[in-house]
Amino acid sequence: MRRRLITSTLAVVLVVIAVFGVSLVLIETRTITSSAQESVDAEALRIVSIVDSRLIGGEPVSPAILAEQGGAKRYALVTIPGRPPIEIGTRPTGSVIRGYAEGERGETVIVEESRSAVTSEVGSTALIIVAVAGLAVIAAVLLAVRQANRLASPLTDLAETAERLGSGDPRPRHKRYGVPELDRVADVLDASAERIARMLTAERRLAADASHQLRTPLTALSMRLEEVALADDLDTVKEEATIALTQVERLTDVVERLLTNSRDPRSGSAVAFDLDEVVKQQIEEWRPAYRSAGRAIVRSGKQGMRAIGTPGAVAQVLAALIENSLMHGGGTVALRTRVTGNQSVIEVTDEGPGVPADLGARIFERAVSGRSSTGIGLAVARDLAEADGGRLELLQQQPPVFALFLSKEARSGTDAPRERPVR
């Protein structure tokens, strides 16, 4: 690349110098020759005018007088009718430039100058032109090298950037080179790098979310299938199989939800649903795990509530909160339903130590966890809640109270609150 740029630039410069240099030499040669001819003619006219004036005045005409008055620097031959020729200076040999003039009394003057002087002057001028051309070539080479480096280095850098993108390193360079065309290529590569980075981040996020969100349904499904395998009673097998099919449906819903959120986090298909059914299903699903840990999970608050959202997404949010309490909390876990304004609220609390003070403001950020966990569950839960137009908040750190706010379905009549604990 550099060699081609230097060679092409130098070739153009040489062609230009050759064309204009030869033309300039020819013009200067003609100008110098014309100037020498005019100078010889002018000297001949000057001498003939001196001869005329002396002849008219009856004064003598001699070589010394003509050389003194005419300032002759060249050879001159003066011919006067009836007198011998008068020569001034030394006659040159070889090729000469000749000037001729004729006076009023018939006298003639011939002035000659050797052409070697003209040739010498033409040679000096040509040397100057060649020297200037040489300097121009040197300057052209330096400029070509500089321009080649200015263009080749960014191209090499852009090629390395493209190679990095191909090898899986999508970090944008944000480097510009002062050349609009190259800067445009750099802009496109940086934009591509950012898009690739977002795609890779989305893929990694989907993989992490999927592994986290699918763990609980798969564990529950595995437990049900084990119950089916160990059961001898047909009714028990049917019951467990029905529950297993429900778990498969939930698992399918989780997968579809994850794929939908990976494409558009806010594409939830919210509908009106019975909140009691979701809460009841979650309590039944998690009660065996809490019983095994020597803990209890209960429900209290208003019943008969209907909310706007996606039942599968709400179930996943509650599962994340219940699992979080099982892993990090302590004592009894309580799910309390209530109404505030035009929103239905589900609170999840436990009797554990709560959320550390330094994590309270960052508890919903990814990779933030108070213990050795992934730190993904609460972040995914908040994303799911927001996708349905709801929100998930930490109302209290000690003891911890998480609240899921959902839009309440508008209903006619009055709903009297019924508060009773359910175990």
User: Which segments of the chain have a pLDDT < 50?
Assistant: 265-267, 412-423
Angle between helix axes 180-230 and 311-328 (nearest 10 degrees) is 80
Question: Which pLDDT belongs to residue 263?
Answer: 52
- For residue 101, the surrounding DSSP H or E stretch is strand 96-102
* Sign of the torsion angle spanned by Cα atoms 255, 256, 257, 260: positive
State the amino acid at position 47 in one-letter form.
Answer: I
Residue 328 sits at the vertex; the CA angle it makes with 324 and 332, to the nearest 5 degrees, is 85
Contact between residue 308 and residue 407 where contact means Cβ atoms under 8 Å apart: yes
Contact between residue 170 and residue 191 where contact means Cβ atoms under 8 Å apart: no
Closest Cα to residue 165, out of 185, 187, 194? Answer: 194
Question: Which pLDDT belongs to residue 403?
Answer: 94
Work out the burial of residue 337: count CB atoms within 10 Å of its CB; fewer than 13 is exposed, 13-18 middle, 19 or more buried.
buried
C-alpha–C-alpha distance, residues 146 and 368, integer Å: 52
Question: Which pLDDT belongs to residue 417?
Answer: 45
26-62 confidence digits (pLDDT tens): 898 889 889 988 988 888 888 888 888 888 887 888 8
* Cα 96 to Cα 42, 56, 89, 332, distances in angstroms: 16, 32, 14, 127
With a threshold of 0.75, does the pTM exceed it?
A: no
70-102 confidence digits (pLDDT tens): 666 788 888 888 888 888 888 888 888 898 888
Which domains are present in the chain? 2-137 (3.30.450.250), 264-408 (3.30.565.10)
C-alpha–C-alpha distance, residues 86 and 24, integer Å: 41
C-alpha–C-alpha distance, residues 78 and 58, integer Å: 17
Question: Which pLDDT belongs to residue 287?
Answer: 87
Question: Which pLDDT belongs to residue 422?
Answer: 43
Residues in contact with 358: Cβ distance below 8 Å, sequence separation at least 6, in sequence order = none
